[in-house]
Amino acid sequence: MKYLIFDIETGALSKEELEKVMPEFNAPGNYKKQESIDAYLKEAKEEYLEGKKAPLSALTGYVSALGYCIYDNVTKQFSETNIIYGDEKDILTKWWDLYQENDYIVGFNSNYFDIPFMIRRSWKNGINVPHIFMGKYLESKCIDLMVIWSCGLPDKTPLDRIAKYFGLSGKNGKGSEFTILLNNPETKQQALEYLKNDVYMTRVVADKLLQLTLL
């Protein structure tokens, strides 16, 4: 069995693209004066177009990088961490190849963010998406470590804290800064090291929770 352990990073679409899918903003009901309503709407639109929250949605963000390693329970070894970045369509095409080549797909909050995000961006890019839904759920090969950690409880402890719990030093940067750093030649390596560390944390947590090396 082969386990693909992965993490993605996302960035904000351009201002022009954000404008195309801008939602309709409404001021709260307690805003009565037109001057206050106009000021609220202006601020809401400006904040939206700044794109700080854009990477959190496939409507307003895109996949800027994919990091992964593979655990083979026959050889009992993890592969080196690989990172794919650049053209989003290329990243997504490679992702679906990896998805179909491996027996299990392991991420953190991946069934609720990473995989749905890539499915939606694949639809946007005209990339064929394998049939991976079982009813309204992803197929069983998609293993979400956050769900396992929660033990059936409403627990959304972040990967960083769980990694520290298992003796790691945690994150070495901020995900919100990743794509900006990646697109700057002077800081690109810093961004790549950040993603490598995220994949490593996911790998260690996967080994602890799934007991991969004991399988």
**Quick check: helix, strand or coil at residue 190?**
helix
pTM of the predicted protein model: 0.94
Helix extents (H) in the chain: 15-20, 34-50, 88-101, 115-125, 145-150, 159-165, 178-182, 188-210
Segments making up each domain of the chain, as ranges: 2-14+55-214
Which residue type occupies 122? S
Q: Give the total residue count for the chain.
A: 215
Q: Does 41 score more than 90 pLDDT?
A: no
Distance CA 203, CA 3 (A): 10
Distance CA 63, CA 55 (A): 8
Q: Enter the tokens of residue 202.
A: 């996911």
Arch. (CATH architecture) of 2-14+55-214: 2-Layer Sandwich (3.30)
Q: Does 29 score more than 90 pLDDT?
A: no
**pLDDT, tens digit (0-9, with 9 covering 90-100), for 78-128:** 999 999 999 999 999 999 999 999 999 999 999 999 999 999 999 999 999
